[in-house]
């Protein structure tokens, strides 16, 4: 049965709750409205061309850079626009390795990094680099003592995500950065902060990272805009083409998307602490209500303030995660299973395996990511539908 047939047969549910914000999501109307003028009214020119539409486009880049730098307590000159977090991570890993290959050949990444960090790092083995994966504990925290043993004079680059995209672990970043820099002050430290931005505090005046990745769609902005923040580190462009207003990424910047990114940042950071606390409260309600009403389930990752405020990841024994996502979709609850980046590949999440989950536990996991727009009543509905869906699937399972 085709996707079109599925949609026609099952129809649209009477109630819908979208919790697949790890992968993609809707965009608030204020963000859409902020983008619209830049398609055909203002700023539709090339940001590096000296005419009025070009100046207007360049102003969007400047104002967004200033806003991002303000929220990070950094420098706007270090902001580089690309089109996705995947592009930013590839540029960070491959670009810095190629530019600094004479300073070392070892690259260290954590065992639970996003594939847009892991795969570029592995690709560098073809060029003679050695890639080492730093282990994590059962809650997803990188083991600082082991990391310290891995770092040596040959270590060129270390990349550890600030918040894990699947299980929400908030890494102890200052400790990890200091561990690396104490062992090798010349080692470059990159962090993928896509799932941290506007959820956990980021203060680059106190955190000695060299590169940092952000993504628009992870904060309810449009797809098509992201940032690689680069301090005093040499990075070699990995794409070739005509340069625009910046040197690390050729081609024309996606000005409408960057304008939407700017509005999404403004919305997210307005009363940020209140929004984060509210999300954390909804997260805890959802975790508690599901784990107390469904037998044989387990929370993946830490709890409380060590967990991202928007992240819920629970494994259900004797249930196939893909079947559960379909069942919930028919009930209007939209989530993802296993690894959000491998949902169409029936392999267990590498993150789940890294924290010690068995294959069947990884396959039976659900990832739910809420937003500041969700309501308590929606969480009640989701919890009820999860319970009923698990019970139904278990009742027909041969297991």
Contact (CB, 8 A) for 321 and 365: yes
Residue 196, CB half-sphere, CA atoms under 13 Å: how many? Answer: 24
**110 pairs with which residues across the strands?**
134
Annotated active-site residue in 92, 108, 314, 341: 341
Separation in Å, CA 290 to CA 17, 97, 194:
16, 44, 27
Token output for 224? 């098509």
Contact (CB, 8 A) for 197 and 307: no
Q: How far apart are CA 287 and CA 335, in angstroms?
A: 14
* Element of type H or E holding 377: helix 376-396
DSSP string across 80-94: EEES-HHHHHHIIII
* Element of type H or E holding 239: none
Token output for 64? 């967004």
Local structure of 14: helix, strand or coil: coil
Token output for 216? 């628009």
Q: Which of 27, 115, 81, 67 is nearest to 226 (CA)?
A: 81
Q: Find the farthest-apart pair of alpha carbons in the chain and give their distance in angstroms, rounded.
A: 68
Torsion of CA 284, 286, 288, 289, to 10 degrees: 150
Contact (CB, 8 A) for 163 and 195: yes
Q: Is 341 assigned a catalytic role?
A: yes
Q: How far apart are CA 53 and CA 394, in angstroms?
A: 60
Contact (CB, 8 A) for 368 and 386: no
* Element of type H or E holding 40: helix 37-40
Contact (CB, 8 A) for 227 and 88: yes
Catalytic residues: 341
């Amino acid at each position: 049965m085709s996707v079109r047939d599925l949609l026609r047969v099952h129809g649209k549910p009477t109630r819908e709750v979208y919790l697949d914000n790890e992968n993609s999501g809707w965009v608030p109307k204020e963000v859409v409205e902020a983008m619209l003028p830049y398609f055909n009214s203002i700023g539709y020119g090339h940001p590096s061309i000296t005419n009025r539409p070009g100046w207007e486009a360049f102003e969007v880049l400047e104002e967004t850079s200033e806003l991002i730098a303000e929220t990070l307590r950094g420098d706007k000159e270090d902001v580089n626009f690309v089109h996705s977090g995947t592009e930013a991570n590839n540029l960070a890993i491959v670009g810095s390795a190629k530019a600094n290959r004479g300073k070392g050949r070892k690259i260290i990444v954590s065992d639970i990094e996003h594939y847009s960090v892991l795969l570029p790092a592995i690709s560098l083995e073809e060029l003679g680099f050695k890639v080492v994966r730093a282990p994590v504990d059962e809650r997803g925290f990188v083991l600082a003592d082991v990391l310290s043993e891995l770092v040596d004079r040959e270590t060129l680059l270390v990349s550890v995500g600030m918040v894990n995209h699947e299980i929400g672990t908030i890494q102890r970043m200052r400790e990890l950065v200091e561990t690396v820099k104490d062992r090798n002050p010349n080692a470059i430290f990159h962090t993928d902060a896509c799932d941290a931005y506007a959820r956990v505090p980021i203060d680059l005046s106190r955190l000695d990272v060299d590169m940092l990745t952000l993504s628009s769609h992870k904060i309810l902005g449009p797809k098509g805009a992201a940032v690689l923040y680069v301090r005093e580190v040499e990075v070699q462009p990995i794409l070739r083409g005509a340069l625009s207003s910046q040197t690390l990424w050729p081609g024309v910047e996606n000005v409408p998307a960057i304008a939407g990114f700017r509005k999404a940042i403004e919305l997210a950071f307005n009363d940020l602490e209140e929004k984060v606390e509210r999300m954390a409260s909804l997260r805890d309600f959802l975790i508690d209500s599901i784990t107390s009403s469904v037998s044989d389930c387990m929370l993946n990752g830490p709890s409380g303030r060590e967990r991202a405020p928007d992240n819920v990841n629970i494994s259900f024994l004797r249930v196939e995660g893909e079947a559960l996502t379909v069942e919930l979709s028919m009930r209007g609850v939209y989530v993802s299973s296993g690894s959000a980046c491998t949902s169409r590949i029936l392999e267990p999440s590498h993150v789940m395996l890294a924290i010690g989950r068995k294959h069947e536990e990884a396959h039976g996991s659900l990832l739910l990511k809420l937003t500041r727009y969700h309501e308590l009543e929606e969480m009640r509905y989701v919890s009820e539908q999860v319970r009923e869906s698990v019970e139904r699937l278990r009742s027909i399972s041969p297991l």
